A and B are shown apart, each in its own frame.
Chain A
Amino acid sequence: TQLLEQSPQFLSIQEGENLTVYCNSSSVFSSLQWYRQEPGEGPVLLVTVVTGGEVKKLKRLTFQFGDARKDSSLHITAAQPGDTGLYLCAGEETSYDKVIFGPGTSLSVIP
């Protein structure tokens, strides 16, 4: 059974601080996605990583896919209050496979 774990579960930091959240699994994924979800809304895709060791940057966000394609990390530099939300990782073992979501990391950035 595929299972994605995320850590930490909750994170509260001051504006301007850096942070890293992690997504881990015992399964190998063909692709892994990171989403951000705000209260009352659906998840919004931030990035998809496909290749082991791949690093993608989206402004202040840096995403890395583990070499073995079992884990990923999201690093945020100089966090802003607008970064507040639930960060979800999700993976597919193969194309057309069902998407498995982790439980999420709830981030709160305090001004």
Chain B
Amino acid sequence: DAGVTQSPTHLIKTRGQQVTLRCSPKSGHDTVSWYQQALGQGPQFIFQYYEEEERQRGNFPDRFSGHQFPNYSSELNVNALLLGDSALYLCASSLAAGTQYFGPGTRLLVL
């Protein structure tokens, strides 16, 4: 049984570009949450998707958007990248409000 998977593992972009990160939840899970973890800090909640709808959102600008597909996989899109968007982006899946399982993350570097 595969756990949470994320792709790509690493990514380098330049300021102003757009990026799409992908997440496949653990089998049987229907809820996906995205977090941003800057170096030396704890993860910051971006948003959560359930039944293809954004259910909760943290304090992130509209440049951060997402999507959940019928198979429960999810994408995180970031437009107009800034240097400060450089971070580890974590995806976590759960069954409704149950325990969250985290993926290994995507390391994004914006130059």
Q: Is A82 an interface residue (CB 8 A)?
A: no
- For window 97-111 of B, CB contacts with A under 8 Å fall at 97, 99-105
CA distance A40 to B10 in the complex (A): 11
Please encode chain A, from 90 to 102, with 1 for each CB lying within 8 Å of some chain B CB and 0 for all others.
1000011111111
Contact of A44 among B35, B42, B58, B102 (CB under 8 A): B102
Name the contact of A43 in the complex, choosing from B41, B44, B48, B102 (C-beta under 8 A): B102
B105 adjacent to A42 (CB under 8 Å): yes
Is residue B63 contacting chain A, with contact meaning CB distance below 8 A? Answer: no
* Distance in Å: Cβ of A48 to nearest Cβ of chain B: 7
Mostly helix, strand, loop or mixed at chain B's interface? loop
Interface size class of A (residues with CB under 8 A): 20 to 34
* B33 interface contact, C-beta 8 A: yes
* A6: nearest chain-B partner, CB-CB: B42
Question: Contacts A96-B97, A99-B33, A99-B100; is A43 near B56 (CB within 8 Å)?
Answer: no
Chosen A-B contacts, 11 in total, with CB atoms closer than 8 Å, are A40-B104, A41-B104, A42-B90, A42-B92, A42-B104, A48-B99, A90-B42, A95-B97, A96-B55, A96-B56, A96-B97
